[in-house]
């Protein structure tokens, strides 16, 4: 892996000079009144009936000995509230296309069982269903995002689900009332199928576009409820899928999804915690592929929709490692290190840059599955490094993007995008600027000089996330190894901000 100094502007790398000297980087803010707002929904989460995401992670039931609020873990609820989660996607994932919502309503003890054939053959007792999900969204203050069953469900079943949730009157509203919910809920985000090219039915793009048109027709808007319909989108670089969906069904959806996991080799995904320096940079190169994917899919969408009415919804993303040794391979339980924190920060920065088209993103998943926010073990809970990135980035939610360029060294990774040593993102909301900087180098500190473009501001606060080793993670029953602390390595003088970034660190500064 070679290093060289490069300038990063609008994600186009241009070599400007070579340097043997250690790490000095420059950031130039380039505020623009017409820059897009970073939809807070980019900070969305995803909860699937998979392993211990729902059961044990979010929901323990009201009878549990684990402290709970109406059946939801109180520790997890409190931790998640700090993330200001805007939207939560449920019940899958692959599970969604085998989920029959009527099995998950009514008295819990009478609900039928099913086999969760996608995820380890675990028997699902349906004790967490529609009412439990919508109540959770109310407790978290977030929008629900339902993923509807197209693969194995009927048009009628999906239509009635929307009616059950949103109608004031009629048989479905009566059914809801008989289950204890008088007023309809609001439902904005409705996904019509999940990974319809794969576990959601193995459709071709052409066939799915027609199926999508049919299913969405009967998802009605009851009593003033407005649906934002989302079609199942492409697998990573499958541009044909996006092209066909935009061509054949665009007038029937508001959003089109995209799924991408930072995985090199699905047959050997690597350990979450045991990895070396080259694995680390390879992972960052892989996560930066997201920029190309979003750029390429957006270019196709631009052809059909230059006004950018349709949102690109990256409703599954993140790292995917081998499961922790000794755990069920179908439950996708993985640890989360400082490397995952870097992936989170770099990926969120990409979504910010593409905020004009990317309107939602949902990291997979919220608890105990893949790149989770929280991990639980019986009554214990740990907050992951990724959780802390999401918490540090909260001020960016609904901020206006401040475009910027970066000049920094880069690390080359075979066959993947170069990894910039310093990456940066900035937004402004209510006159307060939030600047987040990432130093990806495992060895080199960097003094980052930020041209504030005349913005008169003082450093009003800062936090840093770093660790002794990139392999560090937070574990049950142990003091946290990766947690943010106050940062005082930033100073403004003569219109320039200088930030002393230690190696392997993520910093967020409040400027006002
Ligand atoms: O997030 C885990 C799985 O990954 C989801 O169920 C599926 O949509 C994707 O393949």
Distance 53 CA to ligand 1 centre (A): 13
User: Mapping DSSP to helix (H, G, I), strand (E, B) and coil, where does residue 399 land?
Assistant: coil
Q: Which of 340, 375, 398 is the last residue of a domain?
A: 398
| Residue 98 and residue 119 in one domain | yes
Task: Give which of 365, 369, 363, 273 is closest to 330, Cα–Cα.
Answer: 369
| pLDDT tens series, the chain, 512 aa | 444 444 444 333 333 333 444 468 999 999 999 999 999 999 999 999 999 999 999 999 999 999 999 999 999 999 999 999 999 999 999 999 999 999 999 999 999 999 999 999 999 999 999 999 999 999 999 999 999 999 999 999 999 999 999 999 999 999 999 999 999 999 999 999 999 999 999 999 999 999 999 999 999 999 999 999 999 999 999 999 999 999 999 999 999 999 999 999 999 999 999 999 999 999 999 999 999 999 999 999 999 999 999 999 999 999 999 999 999 999 999 999 999 999 999 999 999 999 999 999 999 999 999 999 999 999 999 999 999 999 999 999 999 999 999 999 999 999 999 999 999 999 999 999 999 999 999 999 999 999 999 999 999 999 999 999 999 999 999 999 999 999 999 999 888 999 999 999 999 999 99
Asked if 275 and 343 touch (Cβ cutoff 8 Å), the reply is no
User: What is the best residue among 44, 90, 91, 92 to mutate for testing ligand 1's pocket, by most ligand atoms within 8 Å of CB?
Assistant: 92
Residue 42 gets which letter from DSSP?
G
Ligand 1 atom at minimal distance to the Cα of residue 48: 6
**Span between the terminal Cα atoms of the chain, in Å:** 39
> How far are the Cα atoms of 8, 30, 460 from residue 454, in angstroms, in the given order?
21, 10, 17
| Residue 114 and residue 13 in one domain | no
| Residue 377 and residue 312 in one domain | yes
| Residue 61 and residue 27 in one domain | no
CA 62/CA 80 separation, integer angstroms: 19
Q: Whose CA is nearest to atom 6 of ligand 1?
A: 93
Asked if 390 and 377 touch (Cβ cutoff 8 Å), the reply is no
CA 428/CA 22 separation, integer angstroms: 31
Tokens standing for 477? 């029953």
| Residue 95 and residue 231 in one domain | yes
Q: Torsions phi, psi of 345, nearest 5? A: -65, -45
Q: Which of 332, 365, 398 is the last residue of a domain?
A: 398
| Residue 241 and residue 105 in one domain | yes
Angle ∠(393,471,327) on CA atoms, nearest 5: 95
- Of the residues 132, 195, 409, 463, which is catalytic? 195
Q: Which residues line ligand 1 (CB under 6 A)?
A: 48, 92-94, 194-195, 316, 364-365, 370
| Residue 176 and residue 232 in one domain | yes
Distance 399 CA to ligand 1 centre (A): 30
The pTM is what?
0.95
CA 298/CA 488 separation, integer angstroms: 39
CA 15/CA 26 separation, integer angstroms: 14
Q: Whose CA is nearest to atom 9 of ligand 1?
A: 93
Question: What CATH code is carried by the domain that includes residue 432?
Answer: 2.60.40.1180
What region, left, alpha or beta, does residue 419 occupy, with left being phi > 0 and alpha being psi -120 to 50 degrees? Answer: beta
pLDDT at 495: 82
Q: Which of 398, 423, 444 is the last residue of a domain?
A: 398
Close Cβ partners of 180 (under 8 Å, ≥ 6 residues apart): 131
**Whether residue 316 lies in the annotated active site:** yes
Ligand 1 atom at minimal distance to the Cα of residue 46: 1
Please give the tally of structural domains in the chain. Answer: 2
| Residue 17 and residue 46 in one domain | no
**Whether residue 132 lies in the annotated active site:** no
| Residue 481 and residue 438 in one domain | yes
Close Cβ partners of 359 (under 8 Å, ≥ 6 residues apart): 39, 41, 42, 255, 311, 312, 313
Which residue range(s) make up the domain with 227?
Answer: 40-398
Distance 103 CA to ligand 1 centre (A): 22
Asked if 420 and 350 touch (Cβ cutoff 8 Å), the reply is no
Distance 33 CA to ligand 1 centre (A): 38
Cα Rg, the chain, nearest whole Å: 23
| Residue 378 and residue 431 in one domain | no
Q: Whose CA is nearest to atom 5 of ligand 1?
A: 93
| Residue 188 and residue 51 in one domain | yes
| Residue 501 and residue 446 in one domain | yes
Question: What CATH code is carried by the domain that includes residue 186?
Answer: 3.20.20.80
Tokens standing for 370? 């893949």
């Amino acid at each position: 892996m070679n290093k060289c100094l490069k300038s990063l502007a609008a994600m186009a790398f241009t070599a400007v000079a070579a340097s043997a000297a250690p790490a000095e980087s420059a950031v130039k803010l380039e505020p623009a009144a017409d820059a897009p707002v970073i939809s807070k929904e980019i900070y969305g989460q995803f909860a699937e009936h998979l392993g211990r995401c729902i059961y044990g992670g979010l929901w323990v039931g009201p009878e549990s000995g684990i402290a709970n609020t109406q059946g939801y873990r109180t520790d997890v609820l409190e931790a998640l509230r700090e993330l200001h989660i805007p939207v939560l996607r449920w019940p899958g994932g692959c599970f969604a296309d085998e989920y029959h919502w009527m099995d998950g309503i009514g008295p819990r003890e009478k609900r039928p069982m099913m086999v969760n054939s996608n995820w380890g053959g675990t028997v699902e007792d349906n004790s967490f269903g529609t009412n439990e999900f919508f109540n959770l969204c109310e407790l978290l203050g977030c929008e629900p995002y339902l993923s509807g069953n197209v693969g194995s469900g009927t048009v009628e079943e999906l239509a009635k689900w929307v009616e059950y949730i949103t109608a004031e009157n009629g048989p479905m509203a009566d059914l809801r009332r008989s289950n204890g919910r008088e007023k309809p809920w609001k439902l904005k985000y409705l996904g019509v199928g999940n990974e319809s090219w794969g576990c959601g039915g193995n459709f071709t793009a052409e066939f799915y576009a027609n199926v999508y048109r049919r299913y969405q027709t009967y998802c009605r808007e009851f009593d003033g409820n407005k649906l934002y319909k989302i079609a199942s989108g492409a697998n990573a670089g499958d541009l044909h899928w996006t092209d066909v969906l935009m061509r054949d069904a665009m007038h029937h959806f508001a959003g089109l999804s995209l799924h991408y996991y930072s995985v090199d080799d699905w047959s050997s995904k690597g350990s979450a915690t045991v990895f070396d320096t080259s694995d680390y940079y390879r992972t960052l190169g892989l996560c930066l592929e997201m920029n190309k994917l979003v750029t390429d899919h957006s270019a196709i969408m631009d052809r059909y929709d230059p006004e950018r009415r349709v949102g690109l919804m990256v409703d599954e993303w993140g790292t995917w490692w081998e499961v922790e040794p000794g755990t069920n391979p179908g439950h996708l339980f993985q640890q989360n290190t400082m490397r995952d924190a870097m992936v989170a920060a770099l990926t969120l920065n990409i979504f910010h840059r593409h905020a004009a088209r990317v309107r939602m993103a949902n990291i997979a998943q919220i608890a105990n599955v893949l790149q989770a926010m929280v991990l639980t073990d019986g009554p214990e809970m740990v907050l992951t490094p990724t959780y802390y990135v999401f918490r540090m980035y909260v001020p960016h939610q609904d901020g206006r993007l401040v475009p910027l360029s970066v000049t920094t060294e880069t690390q080359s990774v075979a066959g993947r995008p170069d990894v910039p040593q310093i990456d940066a993102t900035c937004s402004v909301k209510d006159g307060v600027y939030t600047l987040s900087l990432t130093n990806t180098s495992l060895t080199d500190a960097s003094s980052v000089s930020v041209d504030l473009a005349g913005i008169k501001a003082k450093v009003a606060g800062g936090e840093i996330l770093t660790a002794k080793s990139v392999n560090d993670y937070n574990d049950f029953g142990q003091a946290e190894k990766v947690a943010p602390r106050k940062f005082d390595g930033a100073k403004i003088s003569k219109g320039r901000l200088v930030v002393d970034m230690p190696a392997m660190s993520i910093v967020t500064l409040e400027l006002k």
